[in-house]
Structure 1
Amino acid sequence: MEKKICDLLNRSLERAVRELKYRKMDEDSFLPNVMFFCGDSLESANDIVEKWAKDNNVNLVVVDGNDYDVIRYASEMVSIGYLTKSYLAPTKEQIEKLNKDNTVLFLKNIHKMDNKFYRRKIFDFINELIVADESKEEGYTVVNNMLFAVATVGEMDHSEAFEMCTIDAKDAFICRIHLDK
């Protein structure tokens, strides 16, 4: 299991670093995000992800499903042309942490995140890399330095997992790996 997780994370890291320059030039680029369905091996998978980040000098920003108030959610509304949209509203310090070089967002124990609205806002952030920012005239910040996101999922009802992957995550996690099989 460790080799499988590390191999996938290494491939995601290589691809993300290679594509980062294009993303900064406003070209379309998808983040090589990975979602691990861990079953009974959840704690081991979490430990492996954290060790991998340390070994690869990655700025791992952890959002734990047990503590989902880490980033204020969607309390900010931003008008873009004729569209009004809600975004995650992190603090200035959290924005700086998210926008550090070599950042990977780690959604740890995402199955425990029972606030579906917040979970959807996190997935929207992963797709768009935009957060509300009161200090900016336009009202938002694009987080250009985030390389990719990794999520771990423990035991989850099949219909709940289907909803999370198809409705909440949309296209945020194209790579979904079942470690428990």
Structure 2
Amino acid sequence: MRRFRRIKIKGYKGLLDGLLVSTGRTWTLLRDNPYDYLLDGFVFVRRKFLLREVESEAVTFKREIFDLKGEFPDNYLDLNLDADRDLFTHFQKKGALISVARHVEHSILVGWVEEVYERSFRLRLVDRRGIILGTRSLSYDVVRSVGFGNDYLKSLMLMMRSPKYLRVLDGQEGSVEVNK
């Protein structure tokens, strides 16, 4: 059974809640619990930025609720969480949007993985309205977490694929950070 966890990430004031799915040498995978008893997508957290698990009465209560709700199906148990390149190759093959969090807690980069290298990857950036921007190369070492398959990202993908809002690359190079 997936167990509820509340974790502290280095440099962030807030805490991250989720159901533990799997752990590797490099990454820990959680079903994201953004608030209350809602699960929304997945979050991959780089283990070197995990400071500790936080326990409290609230955590115990949430754990009991998720235990009562039972198992939650997921298809990510076979992912290699030991290697950056394997994980980002998976994102590249999926072609879906991801959100990348670095050192600033409430600021993310949103886009899809275009290229995967030994020590870095290239992200094609998208703003909060689904407008495709330039690219940004990022070292794996600066990534604290990666969001995948949540409602925000799925909604952006739907809008971008809609004939009414079909977005095309406008030649603009650069990047924008989407503040949550």
TM over 0.5: no
Identify the structure with the greater helix proportion: 1
Is the radius of gyration larger for structure 1 or structure 2? Answer: 2
Q: Which has the higher strand share?
A: 2
Q: Which fold has the larger relative contact order, with Cα–Cα distance below 8 Å and residues 6 or more apart in sequence? A: 1
